[in-house]
Structure 1
Amino acid sequence: MTIAALVLYIVAAVVLFGVRSWVQHRRTGSTGFRGISGTPAEAQWWGGALFVVAMVAGLAGPALAAVGVTPVDPPVGIQVAGLGLALVGFAATLAAQTGMGASWRIGVDPAERTALVTSGPLFGVVRNPIFTAMVAAQVGVVLMVPTWVSVLALVALGAAVQLQVRTAEEPYLLATHGSEYAAYAARTGRFVPGVGRLRVPAMHEAAQ
């Protein structure tokens, strides 16, 4: 199962970032990558940096286990459950990326304006289904390969998405889409349905 986790992670990374960026570039002329915004003195920079740490550690976890550096031997039932969760998580990530269409980006460019996606089976339920699905997939990888490196990847990813969403994306979306995003955020959960909905006045205050 360790090899399966390693192969799955590599294939997912290639598809979700490499192939997706290639498709985005063919359709829009842009890869969608905006990089890490801000400086080390700003929380949003740390969100981007932690995301990189999460991706590297996420690959290192099963890779190290595969060569015996961090041996693991969880029960088969847990491994199978992890495989199922990882597959669903990665598939949901791709579905959410596809659902964003031309608006899909990695990182934020404050000078850029893209269409706000608020509907569909994923974005109609939570505001950040890509991040939700990615965290779920990493939980699956941890169940498949429960090493401290894989757990580190999960913790870094969780912190990264919280910082990225709260300090970079939400302020950007409010500033760009105003009341349309405020209303969407007031009725839709941040990562989990019904959880993290924001009061419209609070959103406007945060933008000031």
Structure 2
Amino acid sequence: MVAAAGVVCTFAAQLAMGTAWRIGVDPTERTDLVTSGPFAFVRNRISTAALITFTGLAFTTPNLVALAGLAVVYTGTQMQVRVVEEPHPLATHGRAYTNYAARVGRFLPTIGRLRPQRGE
């Protein structure tokens, strides 16, 4: 049930992004900064929903291998978002993204908000 909810939430988040939804990061492409709908609460709603899916799948056979795999998925997702995905809207949208990221959590509401740089 948890995995199915995660799949539905992933699809809903993709729909909410509209034409801004992409797979991967293309530094030459500029899309709109989506801050409404589910993205008003969580910046990386698609990643959050995917993590819910993987958590549900891991708990269908709760053993050491499944839990280790889940830890790898969580770590990989953190790295992907922080190192690859978040720098792109920061470079593309600048202050608009900084202000948005200061208000909205990375994967959960209020958790993982970016702190403004000194002097801002």
In structure 1, what is the Cα distance between the partners aligned to 2:29 and 2:8?
28
Q: Which residue is equivalent to 2:93?
A: 177
Q: Which residue is equivalent to 2:5?
A: 88
- Residues 1:160 and 2:111 are matched in the alignment: no
Q: Which residue is equivalent to 1:110?
A: 27
Q: CA deviation at 1:110?
A: 1.1
Q: CA deviation at 1:149?
A: 4.1
Assess, with a 3 A threshold, how the Cα gap between structure 1 residues 93 and 186 changes in structure 2: closer, same or farther.
same
Q: CA deviation at 1:147?
A: 3.8
Give the letter aligned to residue 99 of structure 1: A
Structure 1: tracts of 5 or more residues without a match = 1-83
Query: Quick one: which of 43, 59, 76 aligns to 1:127?
Result: 43
2:59–2:66 CA contact under 8 A, matched in 1? no
| Aligned pairs (5 A) from 1:132-147 | 132-147=48-63
Give the letter aligned to residue 101 of structure 2: A
Q: Which residue is equivalent to 2:110?
A: 194
TM-score (norm 1): 0.54
Larger RCO: 1 or 2 (CA < 8 Å, sep 6+): 2
CA deviation string 1:71-115 (max 9, x = no partner): xxxxxxxxxxxxx21111111011001111111112111111111
TM-score (norm 2): 0.90
CA deviation string 1:38-85 (max 9, x = no partner): xxxxxxxxxxxxxxxxxxxxxxxxxxxxxxxxxxxxxxxxxxxxxx21
In structure 2, what is the Cα distance between the partners aligned to 1:93 and 1:149?
25
| Aligned pairs (5 A) from 1:61-72 | none
Across the aligned residues of Structure 1 and Structure 2, the Cα RMSD in angstroms comes to 1.6
Which structure has greater helix proportion?
Answer: 1
In structure 1, what is the Cα distance between the partners aligned to 2:86 and 2:106?
10
Percent identity over the alignment is 50
Structure 2: tracts of 5 or more residues without a match = none
In structure 2, what is the Cα distance between the partners aligned to 1:199 and 1:143?
34
2:39 counterpart SS class: coil
Report how many aligned residue pairs link the two structures: 119
Larger radius of gyration: 1
